[in-house]
Amino acid sequence: MGRPPKEPLREVTAEERTALEQIARATSERADRVTRAKILLAVAEGNSFTAAAQSVGRRSNDAVAELVKRFNGEGLLALDPRHGGGPQIEYGSQETERILQEFRRKPDPEEDGTATWSLTTLQRALRKAPDGLPKVSTWTILRVLHEAGYTFQQDRTWCETGKVKRKRKEGVVEVTDPQAEQKRG
């Protein structure tokens, strides 16, 4: 028998146990969440960390110990994955809104050197602005614009996905595709 764990699993409440069992049985749930739920249920039933890891096809009881430690502190949030590596995400909602604010501004040909925004001209304007983002990348700008529902068109303009302007007898009208979100995936 191995040594006792440094931090054993705390008492699992009835609501938590029910939620863990539902997640462990779910076929439409993310596989990593299902695995973590099964591990926690095995430990809650009295299995050792090693036995719990082996019950789901894993070898590391250290990972189980880390999961138990997270569960003791965070509860069911411990099932959710964390940031998986790479550089930390630097831009939050304020920075995202700042990028969109600059994008919605009509570019001044004298000041910005363009009549329509491209990623690099938008990047240059954001880096130059006193309240701008001095290290923003074109990739970040592209990601923010796509998440906001904009796509780059062949005529070098950005358009809101699912909205187009059409000429009609009564003038130019904006037509909205009701299935735009569905089509974007």
Among residues 75, 11, 19, the alpha carbon closest in space to that of 43 is found at: 11
Q: How far apart are CA 28 and CA 139, in angstroms?
A: 31
Q: What is the full per-residue pLDDT of the chain (185 aa) written as tens digits?
A: 566 778 899 999 999 999 999 999 999 999 999 999 999 999 999 999 999 999 999 988 899 999 999 999 999 999 998 877 777 777 888 999 999 999 999 888 888 888 888 899 999 999 999 988 998 999 999 989 988 888 877 655 666 777 778 888 999 888 888 887 777 66
Q: How far apart are CA 105 and CA 98, in angstroms?
A: 11
Among residues 24, 30, 80, 16, the alpha carbon closest in space to that of 56 is found at: 24
**Given the structure tokens 């983002």, which residue do they identify?**
133
Q: How far apart are CA 114 and CA 102, in angstroms?
A: 14
What type of residue is 71? F
Instruction: State phi, psi for 125 to the nearest 5 degrees.
Output: -65, -40
pTM of the model: 0.52
Per-domain residue ranges of the chain: 14-79, 93-184
